[in-house]
Structure 1
């Protein structure tokens, strides 16, 4: 019995064919259509959550009361079906999400993958970087700090004025969900001066 197989990938479908020879929609076209309105989500917790518990919370959190369909696919694993692609995009854009003190990781469903193949080992979060001097508030340093997690995604800097003695840089980072989040780092300004820069997590 074979333990490995090399299967054919229909590149014609992936390149954009939407119909079979008989005029019906191709499998890839159907999968592509589904992927625009379906997200996969996993709640990172040892406690089990059911659809009846999370649906009313997410409807209010996401603002889709009566328009969201939630399907359980296993322990703390769910499909979220939206009415419109724009609603899905809004949920992805404003991640991370938390409910009942648990982190909800949401991922797009690529048409070329099954939902079992989706990687939930990483998620994203906004981190406030507290204690950097003004000259170090820049994208290059935001990227360096973000890469100390699992990867840099985006950054923002608080408005600076004469009364703002502690301006804050906020970075969006990927992080490993099974590892403790970093709490800060020693900022090596000189051999004698290495102040502690603190991280504060936020949604």
Structure 2
């Protein structure tokens, strides 16, 4: 094919701007990516079995292996994904499971699994040190404090 013939063909091309698939972008809000922190690979069947028993979703949950240590969990309703994400952390056979919400503008390989959420419990803190500021200061030694929940003692400091 001559260059002039190729130029003629491409000059007849038209440019279209297509809207995004709303169905796909909605479903991405219902996807969590998970990565167990472990030196051993976890099989899809084991991971799926454990999360179904632990998470007890009301609606169907699909699990997919993305690579040897990364999983995609597709939920069918926001009630289930919100419950699972809010009740972090989770574990798979004793290994911490880092969960991240997936944003469609990122390839799953770009998701940062280096940070995770943990609950920290403080026991037997003397009464004269029990204040929100002190509890936040203790928690901040491990990272960002997302919330403080005082159990026992009527929820008072």
TM-score, normalised by the number of residues in structure 2 = 0.79
Are residues 1:150 and 2:143 paired?
yes
Structure 2 Cα separation of the partners of residues 120 and 78 of structure 1: 12
Kindly report the root-mean-square deviation, in angstroms, between the aligned alpha carbons of the 2 structures.
2.4
Structure 2 Cα separation of the partners of residues 138 and 114 of structure 1: 43
Q: Which runs of 4+ in 1 moved over 6 A?
A: none
| Candidates 49, 52, 59, aligned match of 2:52 | 59
Structure 2 Cα separation of the partners of residues 55 and 158 of structure 1: 32
Structure 1 Cα separation of the partners of residues 136 and 107 of structure 2: 32
**What pairs with 1:1-203 in structure 2 (closer than 5 Å)?**
25-26=19-20, 29-30=22-23, 32-64=25-57, 67-160=60-153
CA contact (8 A) 2:59 2:75 kept: no
Deviation digits for residues 29-60 of structure 1 (CA, Å, limit 9, x no counterpart)? 45531222111000000010011111111111
Which segments of 5 or more consecutive residues in structure 1 lack a partner in the other structure?
A: 1-19, 162-166, 170-203
In terms of fraction of residues, the more strand-rich structure is 1
- SS at 1:129's partner residue? coil
Structure 2 Cα separation of the partners of residues 136 and 35 of structure 1: 44
CA contact (8 A) 1:42 1:104 kept: yes
Structure 1 Cα separation of the partners of residues 65 and 105 of structure 2: 21
Deviation digits for residues 148-196 of structure 1 (CA, Å, limit 9, x no counterpart)? 11211111123228xxxxx9x9xxxxxxxxxxxxxxxxxxxxxxxxxxx
Deviation digits for residues 50-100 of structure 1 (CA, Å, limit 9, x no counterpart)? 111111111111103882111111121000011112211111000000121
Q: Which has the higher contact order (CA 8 A, sep 6+)?
A: 2
User: Highest Rg: 1 or 2?
Assistant: 2
Provide the residue aligned with 1:15 in structure 2. Answer: none
Provide the residue aligned with 1:17 in structure 2. Answer: none
Deviation at 1:105, TM superposition (A): 0.8
Which segments of 5 or more consecutive residues in structure 2 lack a partner in the other structure?
A: 1-15
CA contact (8 A) 2:63 2:73 kept: yes
